Structure 1
Amino acid sequence: MTPSSTLRGLRLSSLASASLISLALLAPLQQAHATAPVASVSWQEAAGDSDVEKAFAQARSEKKPVLLYWGAKWCPPCNQLKATLFNRQDFIEQSRAFVAVHIDGDLPGAQKLGTRFKVRGYPTMILFSPEGQELTRLPGEADAPQVLKVLQLGLAGGRPIKNVLADARAGKKLSANEWKLLGFYSWDTDEQQLVPAAERPGLLAQLAAASQGADAETGTRLWLKALAANADGKSLKVDAALQTRVRALLGNAADARAQVDSLNYGASDIVRSLAPTAGAERNALIALYETALKRFEADATLSRADRLSALVARVDLARVDQPKDSTQPKLNAALLKEVKDTSVRLDKEITDGYERQAVITQVAYLLGHAGQWKDSDELLKASLSKSHSPYYLMSQLGGNAKKQGRKDEALKWYEEAFNKSEGPATRLQWGSGYFGALVELAPQDSAKIEKIAAQLFNEAAQDKGSFYERSARSLQKVGSSLAKWNDKGQHDAVLARLKTQLDGICAKVDTADKQRETCESLVKAPAKKA
C-alpha cells in the first residue's frame, strides 16, 4: 500500500466494426470544438453486471466504444488521473465519443466485475468495442497528452490489441499506429491477458526489434519497457547497439521527453540491465541519466507528479549500489537539499485534494527513501486533515515506523488506518495489512490476532464480493499470515476456532466462480495429533 508500489502504478474488432466505430466517432469529435464546453465526463457508475450490460447496450445503440475506468477513492495514481486527465477540457470533449464507465472498487459487486474484466491494480483503463471486445488498456502512468493520443488511436483503430499482437508476433506488417498501440499498451496492468509476466521482457524485446523501421519512437519505448521489466538481469540480452541507443536517447532532450514515463519509473532497472555491475560504465550511464532527469524536473509542461517522479528516480539511481533495505542511504548534500526543498515547496503549492493525495503521498515516500524519516512523518501528520482518505497516510506512517524498528508505533498507526478505512474492499485490504503487521511485530498477542482475524471474516461475510479479486487476495493474505504464525502448531486452538467460524460463513457463500472454494481454503484445520 506504499506509494513506491503505486508509482509504477502511476496506466480492435473486425474491419467492418472498425468502419462503424470510425464513422461514429468522426462527427462528435469534429463537433466538439464548435459547441459549448462540457462541464465534466458523464461517468456511468457500475456496481454489477446489469450496469455494465446497460452501458454496452447504449454503446451498441450509439455505435460508440466503452471506456472502463477501475479505481478507488484512496489510490494516489487514480487521484492523479482526476487531477490531470479527467478534468482536461479536451478529454471531456473527447468523452462524447465513448460511453464512460466507472467502477469504484468499493461498490457492491465491483470486485466481481474486477474478476470479469481481469482488472486488479488501481487504476486500470480499458477501451472496449461496442460488442465488448477489449481494444486496448491505456497507460495510466503516461502524461495526460500521451494518454489522450493513445485513446485517439484506440478509438480510430478498431482491432483488438490481442489481434494486433498476434500479427506482430507472426511477422505480419503493422501500421505505425498499430505499433504505437503496442508500445503504449499498459503492460503493467495486463494481468497476463496477452503474455505471462515472466515472458514479458522477451516479448517486449521481440516487439522492439520487429518494429525496426516502422516507428523509431515506439521501438525505443518498447526497448525501455523491456529493460525495465528485466529486473533479474537474465531475461534479456543487451548488446552494444542497444546501449548506444539508450545513451543517445538520454542526450537528446526532445526524444527523452517523449519517453518521460518509461525513463522515470524504470530508471534503476534500466541502468542495472544496461550496466549490470558497479563501476565506471555504470557511473557514466547514471551521469547521463541524471542530466535527463534534471531536465524533466525543470519541464513546466509536465505535471508536478511527473516532475517529482524524476526526482524520485534520481534518488533511486543514487542508491543503486547501496543495500535496498537501507534506511539511511548515502546521498550527496545537494541532492538531499533538493529533496527537502521540493517537499516544502509542494506542500505549500498544492491545494487541490486530488493532487495532494497523488503527490504529497509520493513526497512522503521520497523523504523516507532519502532517509529523512522525521520530515516524512511530519508531512504525513500535517496532511491527515487535508486528505479525503487519511487512512492511506496512516498506513504510510505505520510503514515508516516499522522500517525504523518502532514496533508499537507502527502497530498503532496500522490499527488506526484500519479503523478509519472506508468501503468493504478497502477495509479488507487495510485490515489484512494491519493483521500481517500484527503477526510479524507482535506474534505473542494471540488474543489480538484472533480478534482481528475474526473481525475480518465477519466483515467479509457482510459483502457478497469478498471472495472475488482484490478482496479475495486480502483474505488470502490473512490466511497465509495465520499459517505462518502457526507453523509449529503452537496456536492450533486459535485456528480451530477461526476455522469453525469460517465454515459457517463459507456455507452461505455462493458456489459460483469458485467463491466458496476460495472461502474454504483460507484457513486449514489444524492437523490431528497422534
Structure 2
Amino acid sequence: MKHALAACCLAVCLVGAGPAAAAPGLPSKNVAWVPAAADADVDRAFVRARAENKPVLLYWGATWCPPCNQLKATLFNRQDFAVQARNFVAVHVDGDRPGAQKLGKRFGVSAYPTLVLFAPDGHEITRLPGEAEPEQVLALLQQALAGGRPVKALVADALAGRTLAANEWRALAFYAWDVDDGRVVALSERAALLARLAAAAPAADDETTTRLWLKALVADEGKGAVKADAALRERVRRVAADPALARRHADVFVWSAADLVRALADGQAPERSPLVPLFDAALQKLAADASLSRADRQGALGSRVELARLAVPEDAVKVELAPALLQLVREQAARDEREISDGYERQAVITGDAHLLARAGLWAESDALLKANLTKSHSPYYLMSQLGGNARKLGRTDDALGWYRQAFEKSEGPATRLQWGGGYVAALIELAPQDGARIEKTAAQLLDEAGRDAGAFQGRSVRSLQRLGAKLAAWNQGGRHAAALKRLQARLDGVCRKVDAADGARETCRTLLQPRAAG
C-alpha cells in the first residue's frame, strides 16, 4: 500500500449532531478561481474559455484532504503558478459544495485531489500528478498549454507504433494514472498498459522509459501483469544506486519504495531482497534533501519504515524497528510540530507524521500529536478519525467509538458527513453490534441528511451510502435486525420520492437498502 494514501484517503473517516454547514474556501488568493457547484457554473466557465481561447484547469478537492492541503501549500500559492494561471480559466470544485458530486460524475473525478486540464471546447487534455514536485507539475502544465494533445490520443498513437515527440512521451510518463478513473484505461488494465507504453518508449529517453516502468510496477501491486525480468530489476537497481536518478524519480521512490521491492523480489520474501538496503540508502538521502517539501521528506522516512516492516504482517500493531530509525521518526514529528506555521501545510504534514508514528509502533506519541493539533487544524474531524483508527487497532473499543462519534459531530459538508457517518456506522456494527438503537439512529440521520443533499446519490456520496447499505445488510444477516431495517427502508422511501429520477438517482436510492430488507 502506498503509505501516503494510507495517511489520507484510506483513513477511517467516521460520523450524532445535526449537519454543520461547509464553508469551503478558494485554493489560493493569487489566482482568480471560479467556484463551481453545478453544471451551470462550469458551463459558464467554458463559455468564457471559448471566448478567450483558453483551456480550463479544474481542481477537485476537499477542505480536510491532506494531499489537497499539500497542493495549496506548495503549488497553488506560487507566483509562477499564478503567472501560468493567466493562460487558463481556473475552476475549483469542492466536493462538499451542494451538487458538487454530480459534477464529479460528469468529469469522471472522485479521488481528492484531481487536477484536469480541458481544451476550450471541453475535451479533456490531461490529468496532472498532484504527488509530483511543483516544478514538474508546472512544466507539464506549460507543455499542455502550449498545444499538448489529449492523453487518449497519445496512448492510441503510442500503441499503434506511431512516432511521438519527446514531450508527448513525457506527458504519458507523468500523467496522473492514479486518478484516471477509467477515462483512459480501466483500473484492471492500467499496469499492463503502462508496461506496454514503457516497452514502446524510445530507448534514447531513458528517464521517461524508467518512469513508465516504475509506475507500471507500482500499479501492478504484485498481481503479475508486469513481469520483472533481469533487465527491469537492473534498471530499478541502477536508479536506486544513483542519487541523481533517485532524485529525478523522487515522488515514486518516496511514496512507493516498499511496493517496488515487493514487485521485484524475484520470488523470495521481500524483506530478503537485495534491493532493501539499496532503497533504504536512497531514501535516507531523499529524507535529508532540503530541496524536497516537508511532506516528501516525511514520505521518504515513511518508506524507510515500510521497508523495515516488510517482515511483519501489514496490520501488525506491535513492531520492533531499529532504535535509530524510531528516533528519526520522533525527531521529524517534533520538528514539524515546532516549525510549521502554514495551516495548509500543517494539515498535510502533521496528519502524515501521526500516521508514521503509528506505523512505527509509537501509538501513544501518535495520539499525543493528534490531540495537540485538534485546536490548530481547520478540519479537526480528520484528526479525530485518525485517533479513532489508532484506538480501534489497539483494541480500545470505547475510545474508538467516542472519537468516531466526535469526528462525525464536527464534520462539515454533505459529502464528508456521509463519508464520516458511514464509517461511524461501520465501526458501530463491528465494535458494538448489540447497540441496535444507536446504529439505527445514526443510519436514519444519514438518510435524512442525504435527503437534503441534491448530490447525495452521485459520486463519492452515493458510494458512501452504498457502503452503509452493505454494512447494514451484514448486520441484518439472518434477519436479526429485520424490524430496524424495515423502519429504515420506510424512511428511505420517503427520501427517494423526492429524488430526481434523472441519471438513475431515484432508482439507486430506492434499492439502497433492499438487500438488507430481503436478508
With the length of structure 1 as denominator, give the TM-score of the two structures. Answer: 0.92
Among 264, 277, 280, the residue aligned to 1:287: 277
Deviations 1:205-226 (A, max 9, x none): 1101110325211111110001
- The Cα of 1:7 is off from its aligned counterpart by 5.9
1:394 touches 1:416 (CA, 8 Å); kept in 2? yes
> How far apart, in 2, do the equivalents of 1:67 and 1:183 lie?
20
- The Cα of 1:232 is off from its aligned counterpart by 2.8
1:201 touches 1:229 (CA, 8 Å); kept in 2? yes
Superposition map of 1:74-153 within 5 A: 74-153=64-143
> How far apart, in 1, do the equivalents of 2:391 and 2:358 lie?
10
1:47 touches 1:103 (CA, 8 Å); kept in 2? yes
Worse overlay, 353-362 or 216-225:
216-225
Superposition map of 1:179-190 within 5 A: 179-190=169-180
1:65 touches 1:155 (CA, 8 Å); kept in 2? yes
1:8 touches 1:265 (CA, 8 Å); kept in 2? no
Distance 1:525 1:207, change over 3 A: closer
Q: Does 1:500 align with 2:508?
A: no
Relative contact order (alpha carbons < 8 A, sep ≥ 6): 1 or 2 greater? 2
Where does residue 511 of structure 1 map in the other structure?
501
Distance 1:3 1:413, change over 3 A: farther
- The Cα of 1:407 is off from its aligned counterpart by 0.6
Superposition map of 1:117-516 within 5 A: 117-278=107-268, 282-516=272-506
SS in 2 for 1:329: coil
Distance 1:279 1:441, change over 3 A: closer
> How far apart, in 2, do the equivalents of 1:281 and 1:443 lie?
38
SS in 1 for 2:68: helix
Distance 1:297 1:382, change over 3 A: same
Q: Does 1:43 align with 2:33?
A: yes
Where does residue 15 of structure 1 map in the other structure?
none
Distance 1:276 1:418, change over 3 A: farther
- The Cα of 1:163 is off from its aligned counterpart by 0.7
SS in 2 for 1:126: strand
1:201 touches 1:226 (CA, 8 Å); kept in 2? yes
Give the letter for the 2:488 counterpart. Answer: L
Distance 1:221 1:282, change over 3 A: farther
2:222 touches 2:262 (CA, 8 Å); kept in 1? no
> How far apart, in 2, do the equivalents of 1:375 and 1:208 lie?
43
1:9 touches 1:140 (CA, 8 Å); kept in 2? no
- The Cα of 1:8 is off from its aligned counterpart by 8.6
Q: Does 1:72 align with 2:62?
A: yes
1:230 touches 1:269 (CA, 8 Å); kept in 2? no
SS in 2 for 1:200: helix
- The Cα of 1:280 is off from its aligned counterpart by 9.4
Show structure 2 runs of 5+ residues with no match. 11-27
Q: What is the aligned length? A: 501
SS in 1 for 2:274: helix
Worse overlay, 453-462 or 197-206:
197-206
Distance 1:406 1:281, change over 3 A: closer
SS in 1 for 2:375: helix
Distance 1:7 1:373, change over 3 A: closer
> How far apart, in 1, do the equivalents of 2:205 and 2:79 lie?
29
Give the letter for the 1:5 counterpart. Answer: L
Distance 1:280 1:161, change over 3 A: closer
Distance 1:281 1:381, change over 3 A: closer
SS in 2 for 1:436: helix
Deviations 1:422-454 (A, max 9, x none): 111111111111111011100000000100000
Give the letter for the 1:120 counterpart. Answer: S
- The Cα of 1:488 is off from its aligned counterpart by 1.2
- Give the superposed CA RMSD: 1.8
SS in 1 for 2:158: helix
Distance 1:271 1:77, change over 3 A: same
SS in 2 for 1:127: strand
Deviations 1:279-304 (A, max 9, x none): 69944211110111111111111100
> How far apart, in 2, do the equivalents of 1:348 and 1:524 lie?
52
- The Cα of 1:265 is off from its aligned counterpart by 1.5
> How far apart, in 1, do the equivalents of 2:430 and 2:506 lie?
28
SS in 2 for 1:266: helix
SS in 2 for 1:385: coil
Give the letter for the 1:267 counterpart. Answer: A
Distance 1:528 1:352, change over 3 A: closer
With the length of structure 2 as denominator, give the TM-score of the two structures. Answer: 0.94
SS in 2 for 1:220: helix
2:61 touches 2:68 (CA, 8 Å); kept in 1? yes
> How far apart, in 2, do the equivalents of 1:527 and 1:173 lie?
57
Distance 1:478 1:527, change over 3 A: closer
SS in 2 for 1:185: coil
Distance 1:190 1:523, change over 3 A: same
Give the letter for the 2:106 counterpart. Answer: R
Distance 1:276 1:448, change over 3 A: farther
Show structure 1 runs of 5+ residues with no match. 11-37
> How far apart, in 2, do the equivalents of 1:7 and 1:180 lie?
29
> How far apart, in 2, do the equivalents of 1:395 and 1:455 lie?
19
Give the letter for the 1:53 counterpart. Answer: D
- The Cα of 1:467 is off from its aligned counterpart by 0.4
Worse overlay, 153-162 or 388-397:
153-162
> How far apart, in 2, do the equivalents of 1:105 and 1:526 lie?
29
1:499 touches 1:523 (CA, 8 Å); kept in 2? yes
SS in 1 for 2:312: coil
Deviations 1:330-360 (A, max 9, x none): 2111111111111111110111100000000
> How far apart, in 2, do the equivalents of 1:161 and 1:528 lie?
45
> How far apart, in 2, do the equivalents of 1:40 and 1:194 lie?
32
> How far apart, in 2, do the equivalents of 1:157 and 1:6 lie?
36
Distance 1:146 1:488, change over 3 A: same
Where does residue 15 of structure 2 map in the other structure?
none
> How far apart, in 2, do the equivalents of 1:206 and 1:459 lie?
46
- The Cα of 1:235 is off from its aligned counterpart by 1.5
Where does residue 16 of structure 2 map in the other structure?
none
Give the letter for the 1:469 counterpart. Answer: G
1:229 touches 1:269 (CA, 8 Å); kept in 2? no
Worse overlay, 167-176 or 150-159:
150-159
